Amino acid sequence: MDIVFIEDLRIDTVIGIYDWERRIRQTVALDIEMRFDNRRPAATDNIEDTLNYKSVSKRLIAFVEASEFQLVETLAERCAEIILEEFDVEHVRLRLAKPGAVRGSKSVGVQIERERS
């Protein structure tokens, strides 16, 4: 199966468990791989036949910007659910990073894989 990906999608949101984190917006970075059969869009050369990564990105940006989760685990799970439920995707691998969250590291976060049930 083919992969459509979005790499380093940076979005500002309220995320964290500490009081100071609840008062500011922090950047999270998403790397997303979505299984999608690209043979039909390649044959038709029609955007309507694709997994439109711009549409996926816009939907996630709107959702993440409006969210106020405490845990990156919860935010990652909800983003994966949106992709599986709203787009023609059977499987998603999503990495959600919180840059600068731990001193001395580039970023920390989670990576999950989910399939449509």
The catalytic site residues sit at: 98
Residue 107, strand partner residues: 99
User: Could you tell me which residues come within 8 angstroms of residue 9 by beta carbon, excluding any fewer than 6 positions away?
Assistant: 29, 30, 31, 32, 57, 60, 61
- Taking a C-beta distance cutoff of 8 angstroms, is the pair 56, 6 a contact? yes
Q: For the chain, percent helix, then strand, then coil, each to nearest 5?
A: 35, 35, 30
